[in-house]
């Protein structure tokens, strides 16, 4: 959730901060008004990447939480074993990947 909060703060900043000129006609004119950061294509790309990483990390952690529940409370032994094995594989990934 901390990563997603960072994304929301970055998005708010990009929506409110004027910087640079538009890339279209008249964009090099210093008298033309500045545009907000979010209107720059590269900024939008970086915000989308940040949102994708944050939501992907959240989805992975929620899936691991579901596997913990299944490993403890599934009615069948095979289901509990499957959840435990998946959890053994995914736990190191869920701990390390979102922190990069």
Each domain of the chain, given as residue ranges in start order, spans 2-99
- 13 in Cβ contact with 57 (< 8 Å): no
Give the mean model confidence (pLDDT) for residues 89-93.
Answer: 96
Q: Is 20 left (phi over 0), alpha (psi -120 to 50) or beta?
A: left
Per-residue pLDDT band at 26 (split at 50, 70, 90): low
Please tell me the distance from the alpha carbon of residue 53 to that of residue 38, in angstroms, as a whole number: 18
Per-residue pLDDT band at 64 (split at 50, 70, 90): very high
Polymer length of the chain: 100
Please tell me the distance from the alpha carbon of residue 40 to that of residue 59, in angstroms, as a whole number: 29
pLDDT at 78 over 80: yes
pTM, two decimal places:
0.79
**SS3 at position 36:** strand
The two structure tokens encoding residue 31: 């008298």
The rounded Cα 100 to chain-centroid distance in angstroms is 12
DSSP secondary structure letter of residue 40? S
């Amino acid at each position: 959730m901390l990563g997603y909060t960072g994304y929301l703060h970055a998005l708010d900043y990009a929506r409110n901060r004027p910087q640079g000129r538009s890339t279209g006609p008249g964009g090099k004119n210093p008298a033309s008004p500045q545009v907000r950061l979010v209107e720059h294509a590269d900024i939008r790309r970086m915000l989308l990447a940040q949102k994708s990483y944050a939501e992907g990390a959240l989805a992975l952690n929620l899936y691991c939480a579901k596997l913990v529940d299944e490993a403890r409370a599934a009615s069948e032994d095979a289901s509990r074993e499957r959840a435990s094995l998946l959890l053994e594989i995914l736990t190191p990934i869920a701990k390390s990947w979102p922190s990069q």
